Amino acid sequence: MKTHLTMKDIARDLNLSVSTVSRALRDDPTIAEETRKMIKQYAAEHHFKPNTLAASLRTRESNIIGVIIPDMSNLFFAMVIAGMEDEAEKNNYSIVTVQSREDYKTEVKAVHTLLKTRVDGILVSLSKTTTNYDHFKEVIDNHVPIVFYDRICTGILTDKVVCTDYKGAYDAVDYMIKTGCRRIGYFGSDSNLEIAKNRKKGYIDALRKHDIDIDPELIVNCDTGKEAKLLAPDILKMNNPPDAILAINDSTASGILYAAKKLGIKIPEQLSLCGFGDGYISKHTFPSLTSVFQDPFEIGRQAMRLLINKIKHPELFDHITNKVVNTSLQIQESTRKLPD
């Protein structure tokens, strides 16, 4: 291994001390203008790259943010990371990502990996199977700032960034009612995740507001496209079928769409369909899918920004912060039009 150029080398070549070199490179005003320029030029010419490990060791700051992702191959999360990366880069932070694979034990391990890496802060979205939060308490005990995004943790008091799940679902149902739909179904899971609860609540409250009775037969426990393809036909073939369905995510909506088309049901004439998601699937279906857009990129950005603020200005952010990213109903072809 060829060894890198170090400050020591520069100091020797320029007949200076290491501390002077260090200070010059960090623009310390106590170093004479002339000396500083000389050092910087020498460094640039020789492609000097300061050893961040050594600096981190000394300053106790790694400038690395740890991110825990339930499933990296889920496009929503992939885009969340993209947003985080974007914001991190602007602030001179790197990110290391670890997956929990929707598994509690893996999540615990991920937390320990990040703690060992001495990250300056952690961003995390809960795995579907997590119900115990001791590993997060450990993070807090270690004084490592932590921010939850999207799938937040209610069992513990922390900062979080969520999107308006309740309002998104509410608005979607409200919209479909205004287009004339009356029997509106819901496909979603009964998991313990806040986002699942909130979306369902939005659905129910919208119906209530319009004095429409809730029919339990129209509520299906299902949150993937695969399941939806299997479960949708039953509900679509009933005597009094729904004229609209809100799905907890686009994958599920796409599954319902597929099943409906197989049955010859006309979309949106006979059935309005609305999903929830990152805007990817919804563009590729036919007809394109009306969907509550979540803006994962923005969620990632906001979460990263909040975390960096907490790291850099702990005194200003010593309280719990709750950021909300707006969802927006993106009306496309799978829902009826509003009457003029």
Partner DNA sequence: TTTAACGTTGCAAACGATTGTAACTTAACC
Partner DNA sequence: GGTTAAGTTACAATCGTTTGCAACGTTAAA
Q: Is the torsion defined by CA of 216, 218, 224, 227 positive or negative?
A: positive
Residue placing its CB nearer to a second copy in the complex, 40 or 197 = 40
The answer to whether 3 contacts DNA (rule: CB under 7 A) is: yes
Give, as ranges, the residues between 20 and 49 that touch DNA (CB under 7 A): 20, 22-23, 25-26, 30-35, 48
What is the rounded CA–CA span in Å between residue 239 and residue 244? 15
The answer to whether 82 contacts DNA (rule: CB under 7 A) is: no
The answer to whether 238 contacts DNA (rule: CB under 7 A) is: no
CB of 56 to DNA, least distance (A): 8
Q: How many residues bind DNA (CB under 7 A)?
A: 30
Q: Which of 27, 33, 45, 60 binds a second copy (CB under 8 A)?
A: 60
Binding mask 67-106 for a second copy (x = CB under 8 A): ----xxxxx-xxx-xx--xx--x----xxxxxx-------
Q: Using H for helix, E for strand and C for coil, what is the string for the chain?
A: CCCCCCHHHHHHHHCCCHHHHHHHHCCCCCCCHHHHHHHHHHHHHCCCCCCHHHHHHHHCCCCEEEEEECCCCCHHHHHHHHHHHHHHHHCCCEEEEEECCCCHHHHHHHHHHHHHCCCCEEEECCCCCCCCCHHHHHHHHCCCCEEEECCCCCCCCCEEEEECHHHHHHHHHHHHHHCCCCCEEEEECCCCCHHHHHHHHHHHHHHHHCCCCCCHHHEEECCCHHHHHHHHHHHHCCCCCCCEEEECCHHHHHHHHHHHHHCCCCCCCCCEEEEEECCCHHHHCCCCCEEEECCHHHHHHHHHHHHHHHHHCCCCCCCCCEEEECCEEECCCCCCCCCC
Q: Which of 286, 312, 313, 326 binds a second copy (CB under 8 A)?
A: 286
Which of a second copy, DNA, none does 31 bind, CB closer than 5 to 8 A by kind? DNA
The answer to whether 10 contacts a second copy (rule: CB under 8 A) is: no
Which of a second copy, DNA, none does 206 bind, CB closer than 5 to 8 A by kind? none
The answer to whether 18 contacts DNA (rule: CB under 7 A) is: yes
Q: Which of 254, 290, 327, 330 binds a second copy (CB under 8 A)?
A: 254
The answer to whether 251 contacts a second copy (rule: CB under 8 A) is: yes
Which of a second copy, DNA, none does 62 bind, CB closer than 5 to 8 A by kind? a second copy
Q: Would you tell me which residues interact with DNA (CB under 7 A)?
A: 3-4, 6-8, 15-20, 22-23, 25-26, 30-35, 48, 50-51, 54-55, 57-60
Q: Would you tell me which residues interact with a second copy (CB under 8 A)?
A: 1-2, 4, 47, 49-54, 56-57, 60, 62, 64, 71-75, 77-79, 81-82, 85-86, 89, 94-99, 112-113, 115-118, 138, 142-143, 225, 251, 254, 257-258, 261, 280-281, 283-286, 297
